[in-house]
Amino acid sequence: MKERTIVVVGAGPAGLMAAISASQNNNNNRVIVLEKNSEAGKKLLLTGGGRCNVTNNCNVDQLIKNTVTNGKFLFSCFNIFNNDDLMKFFENYGLKLKIEEGGKVFPTSDKARDVLYILLETLESNGVKIWYDSEVEKININENGISEITLRNKNIIKADSVIIATGGMSYPKTGSTGDGYRIVKELGHAVVDIKPGLVPIEIKEGWIKSLMGISLESTNIVCNVKDIEKPNKKPKTIKWTGPLIFTHYGISGPAVLNISSYLNKHINNSIIDIIIDIVPNVSEQELENILVSKEFEKNETIFKTLSKILPKNLVTALLDVLELNKDKKLSDISKEESNKIITNLKTLKLTPKDLRSISEAIITSGGISTKEIDPKTMASKLVEGLYFAGEIIDVDAITGGYNLQIAFTTGYVAGLNA
Ligand SMILES: Cc1cc2nc3c(=O)[nH]c(=O)nc-3n(C[C@H](O)[C@H](O)[C@H](O)COP(=O)(O)OP(=O)(O)OC[C@H]3O[C@@H](n4cnc5c(N)ncnc54)[C@H](O)[C@@H]3O)c2cc1C
């Protein structure tokens, strides 16, 4: 049988896994990975704060449900290579894994480098070559489909199949600068609008600055999204529970990052209210008992009372924002002032100005239209021999290991079929 050359563009998790499956049990495939950096997996090494939340130990329905954009597109791929298969793959190659809160799976060593090491070692034993400092500029096609690849240094590589795994546009210093979008547009593919996903939110209210640095372990966030062009349409509601951090420009933290991935499609065409319960573990009734009925220490200062249920820096900032003297005794606080405090604790209303830029985003939302990709093989429906894998595709998920799982799954399936 004639040897085939399969070229994978990008040595991130998707590209490395694609090269592994393309080279596994198939001696007729000569597999080459082209990477523009001088090392592989620069972004992979940053994942999970350097610990690499490699996947999530949930069922396939949850994998799809937690994919914010085009989850159903992944259904066939997950039937071929899902999170169980990924965990078995790593464990077979000697990488021990552990499961943490929320089903998040990490290497037991807490080192992303160990994940990268397994991928590179497997590639080496499969005889795959990685060409570093090799930036792909263009893919050339002829009447039969893929023909060759032009590198930036003008070298040309002949190929039978090409897998594009160049990632998105977030954290561009890692090499993900969106090259793939330009390359595939030249081949006729549609790219759905690129937006930041899993990104902090800028807030209009200027006083938010005084809450900067305050971090809350648990909050309930509700966003009401009203489409400006369809004022009669019922507002969409997005809810999330989890930690939140106030910053100099607005809000961040896991709950906010997840919400941003749902808001990014609405932020420029909707009126959005963000309502935060910053004390979800204290009911409105309990607050009323403390502040309105003053069931407890009447002679205590408002600062001391609130500090029993909230971090001290938050109480100081909140009283500042509400222009209330922190040394005022509880007995001197009016009903109106108490209600103002309760409203701000249980339903703090904020208005989003924008999302932070894509360079700060954990994930890129948008990318190559899934309508032009065969969901069973990751093959282009437009160009024979062209395949896609990872973040370059218009799929993105919430935090928890789902995005890496998508990269590994689509990579595996593309490699299997290329
Ligand atoms: C800070 C941070 C933390 C994260 N933590 C997690 C986590 O814990 N769990 C999780 O599931 N997800 C996490 N993610 C998301 C995850 O990293 C991505 O989903 C994943 O890296 C996407 O893999 P990829 O292979 O598609 O793209 P990338 O990892 O971006 O790899 C693309 C590769 O292609 C190369 N390339 C680009 N253009 C060219 C070109 N023209 N020629 C040659 N090579 C090129 C790039 O240099 C890069 O090496 C995190 C992301 C960030 C930024």
Q: Ligand 1 centroid vs 44 CA: distance in angstroms?
A: 6
Q: Ligand 1 centroid vs 264 CA: distance in angstroms?
A: 20
Three-state secondary-structure class, residue 202: strand
Q: Which atom, in ligand 1's list, is nearest to the CA of 16?
A: 25
From 52, 176, 261, 368, give the residue whose CB has the most ligand 1 atoms within 8 Å, as the site to mutate.
Answer: 176
Write the residue with the smallest CA distance to atom 37 of ligand 1. 166
Question: What residue has token string 């407890």?
Answer: 296
From 403, 406, 412, give the residue whose CB has the most ligand 1 atoms within 8 Å, as the site to mutate.
Answer: 403
Please say whether the beta carbons of 4 and 28 come within 8 A. Answer: yes
Counted residue by residue, the chain has a size of 418
Closest CA to 318 of 287, 339, 345, 293: 345
Q: Which atom, in ligand 1's list, is nearest to the CA of 391?
A: 26
CA 133 to chain centre: 27
Please say whether the beta carbons of 369 and 69 come within 8 A. Answer: no
From 7, 399, 404, 409, give the residue whose CB has the most ligand 1 atoms within 8 Å, as the site to mutate.
Answer: 404
The pLDDT of residue 125:
95
From 42, 45, 47, give the residue whose CB has the most ligand 1 atoms within 8 Å, as the site to mutate.
Answer: 47
Q: Which CATH architecture is the domain 201-355 placed in?
A: Orthogonal Bundle (1.10)
Q: Ligand 1 centroid vs 43 CA: distance in angstroms?
A: 5
Write the residue with the smallest CA distance to atom 4 of ligand 1. 47
> What does the alpha-carbon distance between residue 229 and residue 206 come to, in Å, rounded to a whole number?
28
Q: Which atom, in ligand 1's list, is nearest to the CA of 13?
A: 25
Q: Which fold has domain 4-196+361-417?
A: FAD/NAD(P)-binding domain (3.50.50)
Q: Which atom, in ligand 1's list, is nearest to the CA of 52?
A: 8
CA 383 to chain centre: 29
> What does the alpha-carbon distance between residue 238 and residue 11 come to, in Å, rounded to a whole number?
35
The pLDDT of residue 4:
94
209-243 b/e (C-beta count within 10 Å ≥ 16 → b): eebeebebeebbbebebeeeeeeeeeeeebebebe
Q: Ligand 1 centroid vs 321 CA: distance in angstroms?
A: 41
As for ligand 1, residues whose beta carbon falls within 6 Å of it are 9-15, 34-37, 42-44, 46-48, 52-53, 135-136, 165-167, 170-171, 175-176, 179, 362-363, 390-391, 401-404, 407
Q: Ligand 1 centroid vs 200 CA: distance in angstroms?
A: 19
Q: Ligand 1 centroid vs 167 CA: distance in angstroms?
A: 5
Where in 108-190 does DSSP place strands (E)?
129-131, 136-142, 145-151, 156-158, 161-164
Q: Ligand 1 centroid vs 391 CA: distance in angstroms?
A: 7
CATH topology of 4-196+361-417 equal to that of 201-355?
no
Please say whether the beta carbons of 88 and 55 come within 8 A. Answer: no
Residue spans per domain, the chain: 4-196+361-417, 201-355
Blockwise average pLDDT, block size 10, the chain, 418 residues: 92 98 88 98 98 98 98 98 98 97 97 98 96 98 95 96 98 97 97 98 92 93 94 92 96 96 94 95 90 73 90 89 91 90 94 97 98 98 98 98 98 97
Q: Which atom, in ligand 1's list, is nearest to the CA of 405?
A: 11
Here the tokens at position 387 are 């395949």
Q: Ligand 1 centroid vs 15 CA: distance in angstroms?
A: 10
From 20, 54, 362, 392, give the residue whose CB has the most ligand 1 atoms within 8 Å, as the site to mutate.
Answer: 362
Please say whether the beta carbons of 389 and 164 come within 8 A. Answer: yes
Q: Ligand 1 centroid vs 367 CA: distance in angstroms?
A: 14
